[in-house]
Amino acid sequence: MYNKIKLTLVSLLSVILISSASFARDLVITFDDMNPGPKAAFENAIAKFQKENPDINVIANNGDREEHKAAIRNFLIADAPDVTSWYPGNRMRPFVKAGLFEDVSDVWDANNFHEDLAAIKPTMTIGGRQWGVPYSYYQWGVYYRKDIFDELGLFEPNTWVQFKYVCDKLKENGITPITIGTKYLWTAAGVFDYINLRTNGYKVHNDLTAGKIKYTDPRIKKTFEYWAELVNAGYFLENHSSMSWQDAVVPFANGEAAMYVMGNFSVDAYKNAGLSYDQIDFFPFPKITPGVPRAEEAPADAFFIPTNAKNKRDAKKWLAFVARPDVQTEWNKTIGQLPINSKAQVADDKFIKQGFETLNSAAGLAQFYDRDAVAEMAAAGMEGFQEFMMKPDRLDKILKRLDKIQAKVYK
């Protein structure tokens, strides 16, 4: 009888031990980039994390970016994953305010991120606490067809006048100076941001996106006047409003267009379209108003933990993992972007190196219009930019409308 009890206890114990040993905790990570490079980088990182953590069962979901943006609001409330990709700055603000993102300042404390991720920290901070961990950021600027420039004897323009000269020469030779695809409106915002940063500087740009300056302000109008010089001269690709940014790569690749105001993620697309590194090069957006300190666009991508997540403990492990120097080096090398950890290595790629220099010497880093401005303002603003590019004579009407919306949104 006594033996029987012992036997039962032992078997019970062993069953418990075995089951807990083989019981892997689930970790659901949702990502949103299906472009070949980022997809591969994500999958590699997942594999590495899985190997280092055999007791965690990683379930990785990758979906279409546009859909992710629409779906996030639903899944943060119901059926939340443990980790989700999203954007910092004003884009994370509504979720932080609604209490849907977890405060992860403890992850920052535990991993010395305050020091190693110092440059990007302000973007991840609201109310003195950190709400996510970034894994990459990238420069924006002007990518151009070096071979076409060389053929026509052109040089990298440094000032506005030089820029217009280059555009003019290209147009004379039957080449569209600047390609762009504004079907998904944010590409036009990139152009606006840069012209505004160069015309008025970092502080004025931030004041605008924070709703402190009107769109009809004479300084902002000046930005549009410069932009109009390009639009009216026909320097942009025709029919851009029905093309996505990927569609607009086609003329760039086959030599019909020579410049592209884009982020560094586009280099992958150029390579896939058949261009070689000798054919493409990069220069930072030219100066416009002399004396204005050079600020750059450097949007960051990050991971967040929903407050409705089931497995926050392991989710925090993932956050610490992605910002680790070795993971950073690897990941950013694959996607051709910059690591956010100052201890990581920058890839030996001419664009990355140049990007690194450009951003390190910048007087300020903007997060991109649709992340710096409140969502509803961003939507209206970007539509306004697209409309302006197609009908520049409507500028006054557009600016007045943007003011009206700004007053409503920022009240």
Partner 1 sequence: MFPKPIHTFPLKFQLMYKIVLPIVLIIWLLPLIAIFLTSVRSAADINTGNVFGWPSQFLLIENYSEVFRRSKAILYLKNSFLITIPTVILSVSLACLAGYALAIYRFRWALPLFFIFVAGNFIPFQILMIPVRDMSVSTGLYNTISGQVLFHAAFQTGFCTFFMRNFIKALPFELIESGRIEGVGEAKIFLFIVLPLVRPALAALAVLIFTFVWNDFFWATVLTQGESVKPITAGVRSLNGQYVNNWHLVSAASLCAAIPPVVMFFLMQKHFIAGLTLGSIKQ
Partner 2 sequence: MEQTVRFNENKRNYSENKLAFAPLYFLLPAIIFFLIYVIFPIFQSVWISFYEWDGLGEAQWVGLANYVELFDDEYFYTSLKNNFIWLIMYLLAVPMGLFIALFLNQVVFGIRFYKSLFFFPFVISQVVVGLIFSWFYNPNFGLLASIFLSIGLEPIAILSDEDLVTYGIIFAGLWPQIAYCMILYLTGLSNVSKDLMEAARLDGAKGLKMLWHVVLPQLRPATFISVVVTVIGALRSFDMVAIMTEGGPYGSSNVLAYYMYETALSEYGFRLGYGSAIATVLFFIMLVYIGYFLWRLYKNEREV
Q: Binding residues for partner 1, per CB under 8 A?
A: 30, 34, 61, 63-67, 70-71, 74-75, 77-79, 244, 246-247, 250, 273-274
Q: Is 400 in the site for partner 2 (CB under 8 A)?
A: no
Q: Is 266 in the site for partner 2 (CB under 8 A)?
A: no
104 binds, among partner 2, partner 1, none (CB under 5 to 8 A by kind): none
98 binds, among partner 2, partner 1, none (CB under 5 to 8 A by kind): partner 2
For 101, 114, 118, 134, 325, the CA distances from 341, given in Å and listed in that order, are 22, 10, 8, 9, 6
Instruction: Return the residue matching tokens 């409705």.
Output: 308
Going residue by residue from 201 to 240, which x/- string records binding to partner 2, judged by CB under 8 A? -------------------------------------xxx
**Residue 130 forms beta bridges with which residues?**
125
Q: Is 47 in the site for partner 2 (CB under 8 A)?
A: no
Which of 10, 17, 24, 98 is in the footprint of partner 2 by CB under 8 A?
98
379 binds, among partner 1, partner 2, none (CB under 5 to 8 A by kind): partner 2
Residues sharing a CB contact under 8 Å with residue 115, sequence separation 6 or more, in sequence order = none
Q: Which stretch binds partner 2 (CB under 8 A): 16-24, 26-34, 150-158, 377-385?
A: 377-385
DSSP string, 96-165: HHTT-B---HHHHHHTTHHHHTTTTHHHHEETTEE--EEEEE--EEEEEEHHHHHHTT-----BHHHHHH
Characterize 20-44 residue by residue with b for buried, 16 or more Cβ atoms within 10 angstroms of its Cβ, and e for exposed.
Answer: eeeeeeebbbbbbbeeebbeebbee
For residues 134 and 302, the answer to whether their CB atoms sit within 8 Å is yes
In the complex, what is the shortest distance from the CB of residue 392 to partner 1, in angstroms, rounded to a whole number?
28
In the complex, what is the shortest distance from the CB of residue 349 to partner 1, in angstroms, rounded to a whole number?
24
Q: Is 384 in the site for partner 2 (CB under 8 A)?
A: yes
Instruction: Return the residue matching tokens 């002007």.
Output: 142
For residues 241 and 387, the answer to whether their CB atoms sit within 8 Å is no
**Cα distance between residue 253 and residue 327, in whole Å:** 32
Instruction: Write out the residues near partner 2 by the rule CB under 8 A.
Output: 66, 69-70, 73, 76-77, 94-95, 97-98, 100, 183, 238-242, 250, 370, 375-376, 378-379, 383-384, 386-387, 390-391, 401, 408
